[in-house]
Amino acid sequence: MSLNDVARKLKALDEFTIIAHISPDGDTIGSSLALLSMLKSLGKTAQVICDGFIPKQYHFMLGETDIICLPEDALRYKNVIAVDCAAKDRLGTAQKHFDAAELSMCIDHHETNSGYAELNYIDGKAASTGEIILRLADELGILLDKEIATRIYTAILTDTGRFCYSNTTPDTHRAAARLHEAGIDAAKICSHIYQSEPISKLMIQAKALENLELHFGGRLAVTTITQSEMNAVRALSGDTDGIVEVLRSIEGVEVSVFIREGKDGSYKVSLRSKEYVDVSGIAKRFAGGGHTHAAGFTSYKALKFTHDQLVNLVLKQLEDR
């Protein structure tokens, strides 16, 4: 379906539950909140739900009338929209709302998205889902205000690594320019996200570096954080954001892997590459997905099994170069 089709559907319907993915990042939060504001400006009833707490650095985007509900506390609305969610299992417990809806939609930019909703708009060339939401605002005829622009800018800023990742395109910068023109305070947004780190985040990053392993002449960097290590410094899941990018920044590293144990005993795995390794292909082997240079999955296998399988799969990729 086209983005115009999405806009026409949103105009025709009412009662929307917008779902952000588990372990929410700036793109899913910013895009979901922007879409919430857009729907409300059209007089629609809407809510955002997420199976997981919103990291503190994104709280500045929450207006007084915005309530991000945990799935179990949310109302059951007729229509659902999964935002920035590459696979259905990334909805977490919000999947109950998704499955019970009269109509399900998905707006996403992940190339590995299989189109699990009834209606899907997936643009794998977009640097972030935020870019798509900006184009959707145009299709809906919505005039950008500072609130909507701030939320979209946050989505784009974070998913492009402050416009440093290879997914950044001329369209990305044109989108950012439009958001500046709409009145955002880019310096303040960056301060909230990148210059207000809790001490627990710095402590867990230090632990991740302490646990660092380098393989294959330093071309693969791997680190693991256990739940007991998280508990020791009172770290939240959002405190581990950015660790995999730190590993990728090491000189000579082509692939970085970050494995974090969850409270349920599963392992959230994040993969990044610099130039030539397609980490989305590796993630697919574990029923995950993402992009060529940024992907992930959740493993329910033992830590050593997950770790060793990953190392071997990356080795095969590196040996081909």
Task: Tell me the whole-structure pTM to 2 decimals.
Answer: 0.85
Please indicate, yes or no, whether residues 20 and 161 belong to a single structural domain of this protein: yes
HEC profile for 241-285?
A: CCHHHHHHCCCCCCEEEEEEECCCCCEEEEEEECCCCCHHHHHHC
Percent of the chain with pLDDT over 90: 83
Q: What is the mean pLDDT of the chain?
A: 94
Q: What pLDDT is recorded for position 202?
A: 95
Q: What pLDDT is recorded for position 7?
A: 97
Q: What pLDDT is recorded for position 104?
A: 97
Domain with 234 in it: what CATH number?
A: 3.10.310.30
In angstroms, rounded to a whole number, what is the distance separating the alpha carbons of residues 245 and 50? 24
Instruction: Name which of 139, 144, 131, 132 is nearest 107 in CA terms.
Output: 132
Please indicate, yes or no, whether residues 46 and 152 belong to a single structural domain of this protein: yes
Confidence of residue 52 (pLDDT cuts 50, 70, 90): confident
Please indicate, yes or no, whether residues 145 and 220 belong to a single structural domain of this protein: no
Report whether 147 contacts 185 (CB < 8 A): no
In angstroms, rounded to a whole number, what is the distance separating the alpha carbons of residues 104 and 263? 29
Please indicate, yes or no, whether residues 79 and 180 belong to a single structural domain of this protein: yes
- Cβ-in-10-Å burial (0-12, 13-18, 19+) of 281 comes to middle
Please indicate, yes or no, whether residues 71 and 100 belong to a single structural domain of this protein: yes
Q: What pLDDT is recorded for position 23?
A: 87
Structural domain of 259: 199-319
Please indicate, yes or no, whether residues 140 and 211 belong to a single structural domain of this protein: no
Instruction: Name which of 52, 51, 99 is nearest 79 in CA terms.
Output: 99
- Cβ-in-10-Å burial (0-12, 13-18, 19+) of 228 comes to exposed
Q: What pLDDT is recorded for position 187?
A: 97
Domain with 189 in it: what CATH number?
A: 3.90.1640.10
Instruction: Name which of 150, 140, 77, 88 is nearest 113 in CA terms.
Output: 88
Confidence of residue 18 (pLDDT cuts 50, 70, 90): very high
Question: What is the per-residue pLDDT across 89-118, written as a single tens digit (0 to 9) for each?
Answer: 899 999 999 999 999 999 999 988 989 999
Three-state DSSP class for residue 231: helix
Q: Total structural domains in the chain?
A: 2
Please indicate, yes or no, whether residues 277 and 130 belong to a single structural domain of this protein: no
Residue with more model confidence, 316 or 31 = 31
Confidence of residue 66 (pLDDT cuts 50, 70, 90): confident
Question: What is the per-residue pLDDT across 235-259, written as a single tens digit (0 to 9) for each?
Answer: 988 899 899 999 999 999 999 999 9
Question: What is the per-residue pLDDT across 255-275, written as a single tens digit (0 to 9) for each?
Answer: 999 999 998 999 999 999 999
Q: What pLDDT is recorded for position 212?
A: 98
Mean pLDDT to the nearest integer, 158-164: 94
Please indicate, yes or no, whether residues 185 and 210 belong to a single structural domain of this protein: no
